[in-house]
A and B are shown apart, each in its own frame.
Chain A
């Protein structure tokens, strides 16, 4: 007997992981960059 699964929960989970993970990576990279460049500028002005 073949088990037939509703594909939509799997589709949504993949899209949430893909879009959410990409956004998290983008946000984390942007924050790290802003923090590092701010620190560099502060060190320069000291």
Chain B
């Protein structure tokens, strides 16, 4: 872990890893969306509106996984003071915020034909909206800390850790409270047609879409980490040059 604390070593790895995640991610996600639109069957009850599943579920998963990544990186920043942990958390925040926003939008578009309403204030939808607000709050805190010259912020890190309490609330909301939203219908082993409440004909394109979007998410996080590090390196060099000029004057 601390082997990658050296930004130069990390950047060498990131330069190789970024296209290695993005190229297969874009290919797999594109194929999965085409599969979902044209190859996967319509649902017996919901008809063709079920195809929104291949956008909605990956974005829900990435919204929650993105915050868990922020919480993990925040823990590494607070406990081990890993120099890249704050950068990783900041980099995950924008693609993370995009995910619950897309989840809520696609869910609303699914809800109108399936439930007859765009929105209900139930546990699942409201906790996902709270997750979007948490992301926006984290972005504001982390950006303010970066502007103040710290680069890393303990306040943002603590916020990232505390916000993780919302993730189990999102997950269990459909079990704890009455909801229009369906309970969990995916379980491991379901791809073989076993214990999952969802048929394998839906699960395979869903698995492909989730994998594709996850690879893209990883690639975007790496690109944003490279952006933040390049900005910090340029600022550091400019400061050093200014100090040298001052000393010579």
- List residues of A whose CB falls within 8 A of some B CB: 2-3, 5-8, 10-11, 13-15, 17-19, 21-22, 25-26, 29-30, 32-33, 36-37, 39-40, 43-44, 46
Contact = CB atoms under 8 A, between A and B. Distances in A.
A18 B33 contact: yes
Tell me if A's interface is mostly helix, strand, loop or mixed: helix
Contacts of B48: 7-8, 11
Given A5-B112, A7-B113, A29-B223, A15 B56 contact: no
Contact of A14 (B109, B219, B224): B109
Given A7-B49, A10-B112, A18 B55 contact: yes
A12 to B, nearest CB: 9
Contacts of A32: 223-224, 227
29 contacts: A5-B112, A10-B52, A10-B112, A10-B113, A11-B37, A14-B52, A14-B55, A14-B56, A14-B109, A15-B55, A17-B55, A17-B102, A17-B106, A17-B109, A18-B33, A22-B213, A22-B216, A25-B94, A25-B95, A26-B219, A33-B226, A36-B227, A36-B231, A37-B226, A39-B230, A39-B231, A39-B234, A40-B231, A40-B237
B84 interface: no
B116 interface: yes
B74 to A, nearest CB: 21
Interface string B212-249: 01001001100110111011011001100100000000
Contacts of B109: 10-11, 13-14, 17
Contact of B230 (A8, A11, A33): A33
Contact of B49 (A11, A15, A33, A37): A11
Given A14-B110, A25-B98, A33 B224 contact: yes
Report the interface size class on chain B.
35 or more
A17 to B, nearest CB: 5
A36 B55 CA distance: 31
B124 interface: no
B105 interface: yes
A36 B213 CA distance: 25
A43 B55 contact: no
Given A33-B227, A36-B231, A43-B238, 8 more contacts: A18-B33, A22-B213, A26-B26, A32-B227, A33-B230, A36-B227, A37-B230, A40-B237
A2 B114 CA distance: 11
Interface in B185-236: 213, 216, 219-220, 223-224, 226-228, 230-231, 233-234
